[in-house]
Amino acid sequence: MELRIPSLEQLRTVYDRDLKEAFPAAELKPLRNMERMWAEGWYRPWCLFDGDDIVGEAFLWLGHPGWALLDYLCVSPKCRNGGLGSVILQKLREAEGDTVIFGESESPADAPDPAMAERRLGFYARNGLRTAGYDTEMFGVHYKTLYLAAAEVDEAALMREHRFVYENTFAADKFRKYVRIPYDPDAAPGAKVPWQQ
């Protein structure tokens, strides 16, 4: 199996086949946004190929050089529960060895399915991701912050880079209204709205 960048047509295929099935519509970027960000150099869609077949994806939302947000990690429905999520993360670590990859996983404390949220966090921990010392809230959803790096990273630098990814993409008013980095447990929760709103 090989992790490589797909063609535009392959990206469109896995978006419809895998991502639409795996992620709630409110959490899924429109395909046109991914295509635009990729063309502008802010997005890197890695796909895991088994021969000619794509069996999973790891899409990176790029920030400053050496930093990237793991935007989506997905295994094709027909290939799930076979360890491919771990394979994707291992190959991603090899392909992006000089990059601190950070991400968000729903906090069990506020998740509709706390047990599933705990399992996701366990999967990431087993695959070498560390839990950062701050949480986030995106469009009304509370997340734990995770990162994959060769060594521990400075939390202040991680938070700055995390904020940069969103600030670089959203208008200032949208960022202020819907993105909370760090999450404030004492603040009233934000409205749960689709991120593209």
Model confidence over 25-44: pLDDT tens digits?
A: 878 999 999 999 999 999 99
> Domains in the chain and their CATH numbers?
1-98 (3.40.630.30), 104-190 (no CATH)
Respond yes or no on whether the N-terminal peptide bond of residue 24 is cis (omega within 30° of 0).
no
Higher-confidence position of 88 and 24: 88
pLDDT tens-digit series, residues 103-119: 999 999 989 999 999 99
Predicted model pTM:
0.93
The answer to whether the beta carbons of residues 101 and 152 sit under 8 Å apart is no
pLDDT level of residue 196 (50, 70, 90 thresholds):
low
